[in-house]
Structure formats: C-alpha cells, structure tokens
C-alpha cells in the first residue's frame, strides 16, 4: 500500500503520571504521531499536563477522552491493575490501543481484552518499548543472519533499589507491586524474543518482602535442546541490567540497560567483530508509538514485532511463576 508521509496519528493519553510524561515527551520526535488529548481523574491535573506538553485537549475523565472523535489511538499509562478496564474502555469507543506493560495483572484479564479487540477488529498492542529500540532491532538482525550460530544461552538481569515506600506503586500489592510485573517482564520478554514464549520448564526462586510483594527473584527457563535462559529481576536490589546471548559460534552483549540499550556488541568466538552504537536524541518511547502508526496505516490490528499471542504467553508464564511462589494479588 502507499504510505502517506503527511499522516499524523492523534494520540489520546490516559494518565498524567511519570510514564505518561515520558511517552508524551518523546512523541515530539515522532514522524507519524502527535499528542492531541489527555485524560485524567481531575480537570486540574489534565489541564496542567496539557499546558506542560502543548496538548490541545484536556479531559477530566477517561470516558471523555476516548469519546473524542478526533482521537485515533489511546496510550494507557495507568498502574497495572487498571490496564484491563482502561483498555476495554478505549476499545469499546473504537480506538486503537497501546497499553503499558504488563498488559494486565494476569493472563485471564488479557484474554478478555484480546477477545474484544479481535471480535471488533481493533488494533491492540503492548507497550514493550524495548522491542523497538534500534539496538534490539540490530540484535534480531544478527540472530536472523545466524551470526553467532545456534543460540544456547540467554542471561538477562534488570533490577534497582527503590526507596522504602510501602504505599508506593512498587511495593504495594494492591497496585500489582513487586519486581515481576514491573521489571521482570523485560528479561522474560527478551528471552521470548530470542527463544520464543513457550519454555518447556520453569524454575524460580523469590524473596518476598514485608509488604507481601516480590522484592527480587531468579528464574531459569529451559527450552529443550540445551537452550536455557537465566533471568533475574527486582525492585530492592541493584543489578547490572545487561543482557547476553551465547551461541555456538559467538555471543552478543546488549549494553547499558536491558530496557533501553544504546549499544550492542557482536563477538565471533572471543573476537569483537561489530558494534552497534545508537546516537539518537529521543528517549526511546517514540519507536513503539511509530510502530502503532505504521501498523494502522497498513490496516493491521496487531504488531508483528510484539504480537498479541506472545504477550499473552508471556503473561501466562508470569502467572505460572507467581503460582510457584504462592503470590496472589488483591482482587484476583
């Protein structure tokens, strides 16, 4: 099909929190989208956010936002437990949806959201922004070219030490707090990108803190044929935040941070043979936003880079890990 280079997707933003700030601030770098409207739980909050970011429309409710006929797509940046209801609200208004990770608190919630999107042929995508970062795109190219031979081992860590705040999002079980949903989904998604989303065996250990959330964890995924992923994550423990992929002929190091890497290094044997350096000005959220615009222009209802079946399989994996821990969120 012919791509309209003048096309600009009009984004509606649900939430005025930190992650919504990051997403909107990065949209200024987008070639095919613009922040058009914001919805909050109060007019004052919406107005302040709109003034700060030069957004045309500000709404005191999410309902008003999704019912604005000018809004093409909705970005959802609310805490995890609200993703399902917010996504369904936007979908029922006929909007395309980009929902922050994790897509929902559990796979049952996500199954309901996906079913509605499929039934009504609406676009839906998880905001797994790391998939679209240029260094990650380069890593997938190297793997597809067989540059390191047959991949046998993935190692990925992501963790930081948050301040002690039992009522804050990261340590509050009512908000889906803990390491697994907040940061753990990144190394799991990375392993899924390399090996696929269906390991044969899942082993895990966890440290549950005094608020009842997982403060840090370790996970070992076996895919058969000698293929293994060793993953670690946490919100009360600083980690290296790197990722390594080892193959029979070489290895790849994703440097900087697993979430938003700025470089990747390719080794043949022990010799460094290629380095990808990313000198972009944007933070990186713009790439997932542009993917939504491209998909909509092509008439797609999901992204081939982060398909819905994979998002659902990853959430089912996280459900199984929580079952091993005996960890249940309030309301489940």
Instruction: With beta carbons less than 8 A apart as the criterion, state whether 105 and 84 touch.
Output: yes
β-bridge partners, 218: 205, 232
What confidence category does residue 331 fall into, taking pLDDT thresholds of 50, 70 and 90? confident
Residue 215 has pLDDT above 80, yes or no: yes
The model's pLDDT over 237-296, given as tens digits with 9 standing for 90+, comes to 999 888 999 999 999 999 988 999 999 999 999 999 999 999 999 999 999 999 999 999
Q: Rounded distance, CA 13 to CA 95, Å?
A: 12
What separation in angstroms does the CA of 46 have from each of 58, 221, 320, 324? 5, 43, 38, 41
User: Quick check: 3 pLDDT over 60?
Assistant: no
Where do the CATH 3.40.50.720 domains begin and end in the chain? 9-128
The tens digit of pLDDT for each residue in 37-90 reads 999 999 999 999 999 999 999 999 999 999 999 999 999 999 999 999 999 999
Phi/psi for 308 (5° steps) reads -65, -35
Task: Please list the residue range(s) of the chain that carry CATH number 3.30.360.10.
Answer: 134-277+314-325
Nearest 5°: phi and psi at 267?
-115, 140
DSSP character at residue 236: B
Torsion of Cα atoms, 196 then 201 then 205 then 209, to 10° = 60
Contacts 24+ apart (CB under 8 A), 199-204: 199/223, 199/229, 199/317, 200/224, 202/317, 202/320, 202/321, 202/324, 204/321, 204/324, 204/325
What is the signed CA dihedral for 177, 286, 157, 269, rounded to 10 degrees?
170
What CATH number has the domain spanning 134-277+314-325? 3.30.360.10
What is the residue whose two structure tokens read 């839906």?
124
pLDDT at 4: 56
Is 9-128 a domain of CATH 3.40.1350.10? Answer: no
Tell me the pairing of strands 9-14 and 73-76. parallel
Tokens (6 digits) for 308: 């819905």
């Amino acid at each position: 099909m012919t791509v309209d280079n003048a096309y600009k997707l009009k984004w509606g933003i649900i939430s005025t929190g930190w992650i919504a700030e990051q997403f909107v601030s990065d949209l200024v770098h987008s070639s095919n989208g613009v922040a058009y409207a914001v919805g909050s739980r109060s007019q004052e909050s919406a107005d302040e956010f709109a003034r700060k970011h030069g957004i045309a429309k500000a709404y005191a409710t999410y309902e008003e936002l999704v019912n604005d006929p000018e809004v093409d797509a909705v970005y959802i940046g609310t805490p995890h437990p609200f993703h399902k209801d917010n996504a369904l609200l936007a979908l029922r208004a006929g909007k395309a949806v980009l929902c922050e990770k994790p897509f929902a608190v559990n796979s049952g919630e996500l199954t309901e959201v996906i079913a509605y999107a499929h039934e009504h042929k609406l676009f839906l995508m998880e905001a797994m922004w790391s998939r679209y970062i240029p260094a990650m795109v380069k890593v997938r190219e190297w793997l597809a070219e067989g540059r390191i031979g047959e991949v046998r081992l993935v190692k990925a860590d992501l963790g930081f030490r948050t301040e002690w705040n039992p009522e804050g999002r990261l340590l509050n079980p009512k908000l889906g707090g803990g390491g697994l949903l907040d940061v753990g989904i990144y190394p799991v998604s990375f392993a899924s990108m390399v090996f696929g989303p269906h390991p044969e065996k899942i082993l895990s250990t966890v440290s549950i803190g005094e608020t009842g959330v997982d403060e840090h964890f370790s996970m070992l995924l076996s895919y058969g044929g000698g293929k293994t992923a060793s993953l670690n994550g946490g919100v009360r423990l600083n980690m290296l935040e790197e990722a390594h992929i080892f193959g029979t002929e070489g290895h790849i190091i994703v440097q900087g941070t697993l979430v938003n890497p700025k470089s990747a290094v390719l080794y043949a044997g022990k010799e460094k043979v290629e380095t990808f350096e990313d000198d972009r000005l944007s933070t990186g959220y713009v790439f997932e936003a542009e993917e939504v615009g491209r998909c909509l222009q092509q008439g797609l209802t999901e992204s081939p880079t982060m398909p819905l079946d994979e998002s659902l399989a990853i959430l089912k994996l996280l459900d199984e890990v929580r079952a091993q821990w005996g960890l249940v969120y309030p309301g489940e």
